[in-house]
Each structure stands twice: as structure tokens, then as C-alpha cells.
Amino acid sequence: MTTALGPPANVVGSKAFDRGVVTVWSYERWDAKFGFDAKAEEYYLYFLSDRLEQWGRPGDWAREADRIYEIRVR
């Protein structure tokens, strides 16, 4: 996998599935201020067999998974 973003800050994880290998990379942007540094943003890139499938902030999809609505029609 090559990327215009450069090397990731971290390789979060990797797991093999029937359809291929999922690998997650983390990229970070830091704000440097006098006296302390603070992480401004973090993004995860999800690759399936070396192809970018989705990206977003950590926890984006977990929040969506929690939004399960039950609709009952009478």
C-alpha cells in the first residue's frame, strides 16, 4: 500500500477474512502550542486487500451502529 499521506502514525490492526485482509491505519494532525501539544484530529483508513474501502474518525461507525430503530406497524 502506498499513499500520498506518507507513513501512518500507527497501524491500528489487521485481520484476515474470507474476502481478504482488513488493515487499519491511523493518521494524526497535531497542534503545537507553546508549552504543550494537542492532537487536533485523528482519522482511520480501512483497507481491504490493499484497497482503501472507507475512512473516518475513530468511533464514527460505532455511533451509527448504535442508531438502531425499531418500527412497528399495526
Residue ranges of the domains in the chain? 10-65
The yes-or-no verdict on residue 1 having pLDDT over 80 is no
Contact 24, 13 (CB under 8 A): yes
Residue 64 DSSP label: H
Average pLDDT, the chain: 80
Q: Tell me which of 29 and 47 has the higher pLDDT.
A: 47
